[in-house]
Amino acid sequence: MCSIIGYFGKENAAPIIVKGLKRMEYRGYDSVGVATESDHQIKLRKGIGKVNEVNSKIQLDILPGKVGIGHTRWATHGKVTDVNAHPHSSNSGRIAIVHNGIIENFEELKKQLKNEGYDFKSDTDSEIIANLIQKYYEKTQDIKETILKTVAKIKGHYAFVAMFENGQLAAARFHEPLIIGVGQNEFFLSSDVLGFIEYTDNVIYMENGNFVILDRDKFQIMGFDGKQAKYEIVKVSKEFCDAYKGDYAHFTLKEIYEQHETVLKAGERTLEAIEKTVQCIKQAKNIYITGSGTSYNAVLVAKQMLSRYTRIKAEPIIASEIQFIPHSIEENSIMIAISQSGESADVLEVVKIAKLAKCKTIAIVNLLTSSLARESDIVIGMNCGPEIGVAATKSFTTQLVIIYKIIQKLSDNIVDIDFAKISKLISEILKNPTKIQRIANEIKDISDIYILGRGMHYPIAIEAALKLKELTYIHAEGIPGGELKHGPLALMDSNVFVIIINPNDSTYSDMLTSAREIKVRGAKIIGISDIESDIYDFWVELPKSDEIAYPISEIIPIQLLAYYAALAKNTDPDYPRNLAKSVTVK
């Protein structure tokens, strides 16, 4: 999960590439590099850090030439070092590549290439692509033959762009995204349309197992069998271009504050797909729901809500666990996959397995051009706009609203949900963050925090813990309130903070009992509730709401708390260390 980009055209490549990389930094941001071709020579600069930092140190954007490639890295093979950053050049220096994904047989290939006299500078799996290309190009002097031989050798999931000293570009896709932007006398290759959307909205989504060769004003797309491949140029929506922070200090804050609007727009453009989903659920033998990270926490809410409000049973599947639970998917069932990016490799794997089992696949997804959207039978668009902050915020509440809409329809509107009221609740919570900022300062130096919730608030406790981990690096754990006495109580002392998610519903009095048990052990309590209590050391007031709206409203103050605690700790809330927004490796 890195981003790759290539440019071939009439303008200087480097500034365009740097801008595109900045937009795609969500995919990985531990190091960055650019290579360009000018006068039949490849120039390359790279270093560790984010795009702007590295660019201001070593001026990536002044490299000369109208052809170039670039990369932002999320390390998988080899530490975060300048040498391991991409692009990687081949031994001759005549070829440079950028790669996203994993080459599974790289050790074996590296050994073979070493025996043939090739040297390796980095610890990456990617460098073998550069040297394999050099090897085959020296033999054949033919780019098509070279790429065919290279892809026949490498195993794994990948997308790469190779730049040749003569200024030609070639790129291949195998289970990692690769998109061609077709402009006026210029072409872009990119992991995401965000890499080039301000220059062209004409795109080709390359099919899996295809490669492209760009040469002057033409391009040729072929399959790994060497035959011409079919393709379609489609227009993409420019709304995803709108990825600016505006007046907000960070994308994460902007995205938290957008939620009063995004809950109103959720699923708005694909209401028919929601209707179809409802029909499928009614007829399904089994219902599986899958996701990763925050989207998996939305899966947990969906399971609880479906059972509580419609008595429909659904089985949650942690996407990354699918390979260890064989025979878990029965034939002719339905698989609902929830994913913001639609590119999480684990989720795509579950969908692949579900399709093999002849299940109907339904995607709840934000990026309608993603692999998940393209591979699913029914697509519900989340419609929450670009989410750039690595920690998911507005996408989570949007996913919940879509789940609610499905439940509302399943119950023939007996479950009555007032989305306008939910939007107002969110606005109210966001109105005055001063108290939350104060609490953020209190927790900034602690090492452990626990979040307790019961019933439908338990998945929210897990999501809250994830937000706190991602943004503050504090160890955080979501616990079902009733489980306190079965272990976690042993951890409670005066060094510990506990967040109690305690709205005024059927879980309220049991949660208050848990809070008391914690209090007498000296832990500090942050109560998130619409009822004040002197048990809480800090009370975060939740506006009164209908029972069904609580899960959405109660996560908002915790998102804010995680954000402000990140600021208090001086960590970057948009780009937490070691993480990436779109995890396209398994």
Catalytically active residues, by annotation:
2, 581
Helix (H, G, I), strand (E, B) or coil at 401: helix
Please enumerate in sequence order all residues whose Cβ is within 8 A of that of 330, keeping only pairs 6 or more positions apart, or say none.
Answer: 285, 286, 357
Looking at beta carbons only, is 367 or 406 nearer to ligand G6P? 367
Nearer to ligand G6P, 314 or 518 (CB): 314
Which H helix or E strand runs over 37? strand 31-38
Per rule CB under 6 A, is residue 277 in the interface with ligand G6P? no
Q: In the bound complex, what is the minimum distance in angstroms from residue 185's beta carbon to ligand G6P?
A: 34
* Among 21, 476, 579, 585, contact with ligand G6P (rule: CB under 6 A): 579
How far, in Å, CA of 556 to CA of 252, rounded?
12
Q: How far is the CB of 45 from ligand G6P (least distance, A)?
A: 28
Binders in 379-398 for ligand G6P, by CB under 6 A: 390-392
Nearer residue to ligand G6P within complex by CB, 85 or 347: 347
Residue 581 touching ligand G6P (CB under 6 A):
yes
For ligand G6P, give the closer residue by CB, 392 or 555.
392
Number of Cα atoms under 13 Å in the Cβ half of residue 157: 17
Contact between 301 and ligand G6P per CB under 6 A = no
Angle at 77 between CA 74 and CA 82, to 5 degrees: 65
* CA atoms of 319 and 584, how far apart (whole Å): 13
CB of 293 to ligand G6P, least distance (A): 3
**Residue 24 beta carbon to ligand G6P: minimum distance, rounded to whole angstroms:** 14
The DSSP H or E segment spanning 497 is strand 497-501
Distance CA(27)–CA(583), nearest Å, equals: 7
Phi first, then psi: give them for residue 300, nearest 5 degrees: -65, -40
Residue from 339, 408, 545, 584 touching ligand G6P (CB under 6 A): that is 339
Q: Which of 18, 103, 214, 347 binds ligand G6P (CB under 6 A)?
A: 347
Binder to ligand G6P among 100, 292, 304, 514 (CB under 6 A)? 292
Residue 552 Cβ, how far from ligand G6P at the closest point, in Å? 17
Considering CB under 6 A, how many residues would be counted as binding ligand G6P? 16
294 near ligand G6P, rule: CB under 6 A: yes
Nearest to 586 by CA among 288, 350, 334: 350
Q: What are phi and psi of 112, to 5 degrees?
A: -60, -45
CB 256 within 8 A of CB 556: yes
Residue 573: is the preceding peptide bond cis (ω within 30°)?
no
| Interaction residues for ligand G6P, span 532-561 (CB under 6 A) | none
Instruction: Write down the least CB distance from residue 471 to ligand G6P, Å.
Output: 11
Determine the interface stretch with ligand G6P among 159-167, 230-238, 333-341, 401-409 (rule: CB under 6 A): 333-341
**Contact residue for ligand G6P among 72, 150, 341, 423 (CB under 6 A):** 341
User: Min. distance of Cβ 583 from ligand G6P in angstroms?
Assistant: 5
Q: Specify whether the CB–CB gap between 402 and 270 falls below 8 A.
A: no
Q: Which residue has the tokens 């007996």?
A: 414
Nearer to ligand G6P, 319 or 479 (CB): 319
List 131, 304, 333, 344, residue binding ligand G6P (CB under 6 A)? 344
Which of 68, 195, 293, 480 is the binder for ligand G6P (CB under 6 A)?
293
Q: Does 150 bind ligand G6P (CB under 6 A)?
A: no
Would you count residue 403 as binding ligand G6P (CB under 6 A)?
A: no
φ and ψ of 203, to 5 deg:
-130, 155
> For residues 148-159, b (16+ Cβ closer than 10 Å) or e, as one string?
bbbbebbebbbb
Cβ atoms of 312 and 333 closer than 8 Å: no
User: Which one of residues 340, 472, 514, 545 is an interface residue with ligand G6P (CB under 6 A)?
Assistant: 340
> Which residue's CB comes closest to ligand G6P?
293
SS3 assignment, position 460: helix
**Closer to ligand G6P by Cβ: residue 391 or 525:** 391
- By C-alpha distance, which of 109, 192, 223, 106 is closest to 156? 106
583 binding ligand G6P? (CB under 6 A)? yes
3-state secondary structure 533-565: CCCCCEEEECCCCCHHHHHHHHHHHHHHHHHHH
Whole-angstrom distance, CA of residue 412 vs CA of residue 267: 18
Nearer to ligand G6P, 385 or 488 (CB): 385
Nearer to ligand G6P, 295 or 502 (CB): 295
Q: DSSP string of 319-373?
A: GGGGGGSTT-S-TT-EEEEEESSS--HHHHHHHHHHHHTT-EEEEEES-TTSHHH
The nearest distance, CB 582 to ligand G6P, in angstroms, is 6
Residue with Cβ nearer ligand G6P (89 or 341) = 341
Q: Which residue bears the tokens 């694909």?
A: 270
Distance, CA of 409 to CA of 274 (rounded, Å): 9
Shortest approach of ligand G6P to residue 390 CB, angstroms? 5
Binding site for ligand G6P (CB under 6 A): 292-295, 339-341, 344, 347, 390-392, 579, 581-583
